[in-house]
Amino acid sequence: MKTPAETNGSDPNLLMLAYLCVATEKEASLERKVEILDRFGLSDAEIAKVCGSKKQSIQNARHSVKKHGSKATKRK
C-alpha cells in the first residue's frame, strides 16, 4: 500500500528540507526563492506549497527569472 506522499509524488522530507532552505530568506523575493527551490527539482505545485503561494505566482516568478535573469547575479 502506498503512502499519501508516494501517491501524489511529494516527499515530505524533501519538502521540509526545501522549506528550511528558504525559511531563512524572509526578505527574499519570490523569484529568488524559486531559484533556490529549482535546485531540488520540485514542481510548481510543490514550490507553491513550500512558499505559501499560488501555482500561477510560481510560474510567473519562474518566467521572470528566465526572461530577466537572476537578480542576485546583477547585484555583484
pLDDT tens-place string over residues 23-55: 887 788 999 999 999 999 999 999 999 999 999
Question: What's the pLDDT score for residue 68?
Answer: 87
What SS3 class is residue 42? coil
Confidence class for position 7, pLDDT limits 50, 70, 90: very low
What's the total number of domains in the chain? Answer: 1
Looking at the domain assignment, is residue 4 inside a domain? no
At 59, the amino acid letter reads Q
Q: How far is CA 20 from the centre of its chain?
A: 11
d(CA 20, CA 75): 24
What is the arithmetic mean of pLDDT over 10-14? 88
Cell 533556490: give the residue. Answer: 36
Looking at the domain assignment, is residue 25 inside a domain? yes
d(CA 9, CA 29): 27
What SS3 class is residue 59? helix
Question: What's the pLDDT score for residue 43?
Answer: 93
Q: Domain span at residue 56?
A: 10-71
